[in-house]
Amino acid sequence: MNKKGLSILMRTKMRPGNDPSKLSSFSPLSNEINQMMTDPPRKQRSIDDSRSNFSASGNHYERNFDIVKESMGLAISLNKTESLDVVLDDFSEGYFSLSNENRKKLVTVLAKEYDLNRIQVRELLKQYLGLELRSGNEGESSNVDDENMFSTFYRIERNLRQALKPTYNVLFERLNNHPAGLKFLSLLRADILSFLGEENIPSLRALDSCLKEKLSAWLSPAVLELHQITWDDSASLLEKIVTYEAVHPISNLLDLKRRLGVGRRCFGYFHPAIPGEPLIFIEVALLKNVAQTIQEVLLDVPSIPEHEAACALFYSISSTQPGLAGINLGKFLIKRMITLVKRDMPQVSTFATLSPIPGFMQWLLSKLASQSVMAKVDNMEQPTGGPGSAFQENLLEPDEERMLKNSSPVTYAGKNGMEVMLNLLTSKNYEWTSSAELLSALKPPLMRLCARYLLQEKKRGKALDSVANFHLQNGAMVERLNWMADRSEKGLHQSGGIMVNYVYRLEYIEQYAQSYFSTGHIHASCDIRHYIMKEPEETTGSTGEEPALQ
């Protein structure tokens, strides 16, 4: 084993929470290699590790809450520049020494006690509303009077803008200018989001909104650095790629080396204030055609010569900072990556993804379960077989229901096709995937319902599925559903093994992104829309688009 491989191995083994029982591999490699990489709970682990590495002093005891609270107050109020760095260091180290309960308590204090001064805002508003705005028809008024009037307006408006800034803005801005302060703010926001997940506190919601706005401005593409990550990069950077890979876990060193080798690309966005750690990275496979299964991309098979590639397939996009949730760095990363690949390989004409559908199975099982309950209630209330509830919906077509009933063993029997489907999909160890007959019976309804989920199920007017929403707002279109494209436990759990290709058509990216943003319209190929049999007048968004992938 070379020095780089040994270094990555040692770093990985030294990280907390490694569990050899979670290893997976796509090729028959030796046990020694297989034990090198593990698949721990990445998000929580990355936060914990960042916290433990954040403090240079290495303090592991919990400081007194009041002392940390006092250092936070000093970090906001202190005017002496020469002492500010020491105070900010003391506060950041003290914050991460606190228990989770005390961190929540401290952040709540920050949100409430260092909010904006609403009494001052009300007074300024009263002054502003008390001013008389000239109609412009008083010809006798002098220019001096006009200047004095507008001068008063400008002064109150300036004071009002200042008063509407919460005091904790000062802390955020000072930390952003402090070494390692941007990293601290990212970890702080990760905590805030966690606290909001437990309890929706309005003051914390306002604090999060303010911090998110600040981070969005400070992490603009103008200050981010795009870097192609290769095997020649440092072992510490490669170890972070292994740690933060959130879509398809890297199983071992050979897997990592292949993802960075011939026919593959990995690009990351870096910020100067967080050196050696990508904020987000994307993995790309160079192929002849758009892949229909993840096995085509991840299996250890020879790559094609790069000059034969006609497709750049994005198969994994991973964010490394939970505290940057909701800040769409991926949009800029994808566009920059497309530009670079197109520049270096003009023959590449197709830019597509092979994406998971993380919310599909949860949505479908919930629908099936609720319909089953409704059916039972209706049977109890109307034993003679009267009309069902207005909320009842048969998710299956007659042919689909008949096939499911005829194909299912007695152990999965139900009163109707939906109940049979629910029993099959919730079976232990996904036993239905081992039967060709059951796969054949499940494919038509699952593909049709998956198309419905992607194109019709909305949240606040946008796609319900998080990955779909991400790509659609970036200007992609839904191109093709792929049956049994991911047979891993995660793939079956999330989407019944179905994956989707989103395609970025260069000439339409901005148009599609704008129409999705303004109206929620989802552009999709005719093949996808065929699954849900949309009415002709509703399919006009597909006209003029390129034909479906072959």
Could you give the residue numbers annotated as active site? 355, 471
Cα radius of gyration (the chain)? 28
DSSP-assigned beta bridge partners for residue 414: none
DSSP state of 506: T
Q: Are strands 264-270 and 462-463 parallel, antiparallel or unpaired?
A: unpaired
Residue by residue, what is the 3-state secondary structure of 414-462? CCCHHHHHHHHHCCHHHHHHHCHHHHHHHHHHHHHHHHHHHHCCEECCE
Q: What's the full length of the chain, in residues? A: 550
Q: What's the CA gap between 352 and 420, in Å, rounded?
A: 35
Q: Which are the contacts of 227, defined by CB distance < 8 A and separation ≥ 6?
A: 267, 268, 270, 278
Please state the separation of Cα 413 from the chain's center in Å: 38
Kindly give the residue spans of alpha helices, DSSP state H, lying in 60-201.
65-77, 81-97, 100-113, 118-130, 143-163, 168-176, 181-198
Q: What's the CA gap between 136 and 202, in Å, rounded?
A: 43
Q: Which are the contacts of 504, defined by CB distance < 8 A and separation ≥ 6?
A: 334, 338, 351, 352, 474, 475, 476
